[in-house]
């Protein structure tokens, strides 16, 4: 699963490039020696600079307390190569399973947070919690991406987009309409 394509750091305002299209992501977390991974589809870009991403992590998830207490996470971007892991991770609980170990995923050291990232993913967004004001009411966490890296190729990875009912849409054709945009609207 793991490949040797180089990981490159990216300017933080380019995070939207990967997350705005709406892929399923794998959120890794850690607290006091315990780590976990969850599958997550409820996220949105919220600002370019600082680079903010909001996501819903239900209080019923084992990851909830880990991210709330540590105030950190890594948003990892899987592709179709990891579809079985995406489903398996979503189907299981970190209360019963060491998910890195069980799913054969490589926990690598992040650069700016104390949370392992998932080496096999296409991109990694290291996050610090900056606004927890809607956590109690809506399980909504607002993160600042403080470090971001992605594989050099492919430029447009085959990400997974969940529609519910066990059905995924896979990222398809790329249409470049740059010439139609006003520069300030890109």
Which residues lie near its own copies (CB under 8 A)? 14, 16-18, 20-23, 41-47, 52, 54-56, 80, 83-84, 87-88, 90-91, 131, 133-134, 137-138, 140, 142, 156, 160-182, 185-186
In the bound state with its own copies, the residue whose beta carbon lies nearer, of 95 and 167, is: 167
* 124: β partners: 76, 149
Reduced to 3 states (helix: H, G, I; strand: E, B; else coil), residue 145 is strand
CA distances from 36 to 6, 62, 150, 151 (A): 25, 8, 21, 23
Structure tokens, 143: 């993160």
Rounded to the nearest whole angstrom, what is the least distance from the CB of residue 109 to its own copies in the complex? Answer: 28
CB of 107 to its own copies, least distance (A): 23
What's 1-49 look like in SS3?
A: CCCCCCEEECCHHHCHHHHCCCCCEEEEEEECCEEEEEEECCEEEEECC
Question: Which one, 119 or 158, has the nearer CB to its own copies?
Answer: 158
Give min distance, CB of 79 to its own copies, in A.
12
Smaller CB separation from its own copies, 14 or 69? 14
Structure-token match 């050291």, residue found: 109
Report, in Å, the least distance between residue 31 CB and its own copies.
Answer: 24
Q: Which one, 71 or 140, has the nearer CB to its own copies?
A: 140
């Amino acid at each position: 699963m793991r490949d040797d394509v180089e990981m490159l750091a990216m300017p933080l305002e380019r995070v939207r490039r990967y997350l705005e299209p709406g892929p399923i992501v794998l959120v890794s977390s850690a607290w006091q020696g315990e780590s976990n991974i969850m599958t997550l589809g409820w996220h949105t870009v919220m600002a370019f600079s600082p680079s903010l991403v909001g996501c819903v992590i239900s209080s019923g998830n084992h990851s909830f307390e880990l991210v709330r207490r540590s105030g950190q996470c890594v948003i990892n971007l899987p592709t179709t190569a990891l579809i079985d892991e995406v489903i398996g991770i979503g189907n299981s609980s970190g209360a019963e399973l060491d998910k890195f170990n069980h799913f054969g995923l490589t926990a690598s050291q992040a650069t700016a947070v104390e949370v392992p990232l998932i080496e096999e993913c296409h991109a990694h967004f290291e996050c610090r919690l900056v606004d927890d004001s809607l956590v109690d009411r809506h399980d909504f966490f607002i993160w600042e991406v403080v470090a971001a890296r992605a594989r050099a190729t492919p430029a447009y990875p085959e990400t997974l987009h969940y529609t519910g009912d066990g059905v995924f849409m896979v990222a398809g054709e790329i249409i470049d309409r740059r010439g139609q945009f006003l520069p300030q609207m890109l």
